[in-house]
Amino acid sequence: MNWKITTFLGEAPWGLWWIQGRRLTLIELRRNILSWRASWIYFLAFAPTFIIFLHLLIGEHSPSSMAEDTDILAGIVQFYYVRLGIFFGCLGIFSRLIRGEMVERSLHFYLLSPVRREILLLSKFAAGGISALSLFVTAIVADSALMYAGYGSAGRDYFLNGPGIGQLGAYALITVLGCLGYGAVFLLLSMVFRNPAPAAMLFLGWEAINPVLPSLLQKLSVASYLRHLMPISVPGEGIFALLTIETEPVPGWAASIGLTLLIALVLSYACYRIRRLEIRYTTD
């Protein structure tokens, strides 16, 4: 078995796969990025940015309020982006990659090209990842910059020489892993279900009840891993308590590796599914 895998890896046409993967990714990006159909996803990504921009224009920026704004930014990432913005944005982006092509009856063109189906799936995932990351990472960088811009030199100092840059790095990592984690799940759900939205709602519920589940099942949640990467933990109160996950503390590196493994596992199963995918548009 090991010999077979080694032979396969050694003889595999990696160069061709790379070219095909790059071209498929570019085709997907050309078709779907900057599309008016995705405008609601831009709204999800940049709605907080707009609010923070209004706060910059009309809010007070005394040195004592910087700590409060830091908590607010952490809350936006923890409660809004991770649980809602990235979740639904990735639902919109990734569930279209395969299912959208089936709805439009154009998937067969890719399945009739000399490309391994796994390469097709991973290229589409890469394109979805690039779209999601370029939106949400840009939004979070803009949020951070706008949040501290009103504090002048104190804000610059906090951001560049203080903990600000580290916090931004953590938020960016959370965004990357969140987009890829939710993206992998929604890509798979879109291949399993004709309409992935109800399954996504169930997944949202799963994410919410996850903290009360046994620790093994907690490993099957994207948000529970992301929680451990938050540089500032904002306790949830009132309605936000529903969006808060309290789990045993886990080191950041372990959470990152855990979520990466979860993404790899989900994508592996998606590859298995696409190998067996049949084109029967009338019944799909």
Which positions touch another protein (CB under 8 A)? 13, 16, 19-20, 23-24, 27, 31, 101, 104-106, 108-117, 275-276, 278-281, 283
| Of 36 and 60, CB closest to another protein | 36
Q: Closest CB to another protein among 31 and 169?
A: 31
Q: Rounded distance, CA 139 to CA 86, Å? A: 11
Q: 172 CB contacts (<8 Å, ≥6 apart)?
A: 137, 140, 141
Question: What minimum distance in Å lies between the beta carbon of 111 and another protein?
Answer: 6
Q: How far is the CB of 280 from another protein (least distance, A)?
A: 7
Instruction: Return the exposure string of 162-192: e unless at least 16 CB atoms fall within 10 Å of the residue's CB, then b.
Output: bebeebbebbbbbbbbbbbbbbbbbbbbbbe
**DSSP assignment, residue 236?**
P
20 or 224: whose CB is closer to another protein? Answer: 20
Tokens of 163: 């903990």
Instruction: Give which of 50, 61, 57 is closest to 153, Cα–Cα.
Output: 61
Closest approach of another protein to the CB of residue 27, in Å? 6
Of the two residues 119 and 149, which places its CB atom closer to another protein in the complex? Answer: 119
Give whichever of 25 and 175 is closer to another protein, judged by the CB atom. 25
Which one, 194 or 275, has the nearer CB to another protein?
275
For the bound state, the minimum distance from the C-beta of residue 189 to another protein, rounded and expressed in Å, comes to: 22
Q: Which two tokens stand for residue 73?
A: 């930014």
For the CB of residue 5, give the shortest distance to another protein in the complex, in Å.
Answer: 18
Distance of closest approach, residue 99 Cβ to another protein, in angstroms: 14
Q: Which one, of 142, 207, 137, 202, lies nearest residue 173 by Cα? A: 137
C-alpha span between 142 and 216 (Å, rounded): 37
